[in-house]
Structure 1
Amino acid sequence: MNNNLPIVLAFVAGTALAWWVEGLRWNADVSILKESHTAELKKQSDHAVIDLTNQQKRTEAAQAALTALDAKHTKEIADEQAKNEKLRADVAASTRRVQIAAANLASCQRVGDSTSGTGSLGDAVQIDLTPAGGSVVLSLRESTSRDDQVIQYLQGYAAEAQKRCKIQ
Structure 2
Amino acid sequence: MNNNLPIVMAFVAGAALAWWVEGLRWDADASKLNESHTAALKKQSDQAVIDLTNQQKRTEAAQSALAALDAKHTKEMVDEQAKNDKLRADVAAGTRRVRIAAANLATCQLVGNSTSGTGGVGDAAQVELSGAGGRAVFDLRASAIKDDQVIRYLQDYIRKISK
**What is the TM-score normalised by the length of structure 2?**
0.93
Query: 1:121 and 1:140 mapped to 2: Cα distance?
Result: 24
| Map of 2:65 onto structure 1 | 65
Mapping of 1:60-139 within 5 angstroms?
A: 60-112=60-112, 120-121=120-121, 123-139=123-139
Unaligned 5+ residue runs, structure 2?
A: none
Q: Deviations over 1:113-159 (max 9, x none)?
A: 69987xx5461111111111111111111111111001101111122
Q: Deviations over 1:14-41 (max 9, x none)?
A: 1011001100100000000000000000
Percent of matched pairs sharing the same residue:
74
What SS does the corresponding residue of 1:154 show, helix, strand or coil?
helix
Query: 2:118 and 2:148 mapped to 1: Cα distance?
Result: 36
Distance 1:155-1:132 versus aligned 2 partners, 3 A rule:
same
Unaligned 5+ residue runs, structure 1?
A: 164-168
Count of paired positions: 161
| Map of 1:166 onto structure 2 | none
Q: Deviations over 1:89-115 (max 9, x none)?
A: 000011011111110111111111699
**What is the TM-score normalised by the length of structure 1?**
0.91
Deviation at 1:81, TM superposition (A): 0.7
Mapping of 1:1-168 within 5 angstroms?
A: 1-112=1-112, 120-121=120-121, 123-163=123-163
What SS does the corresponding residue of 2:123 show, helix, strand or coil?
coil
Query: 2:8 and 2:122 mapped to 1: Cα distance?
Result: 129
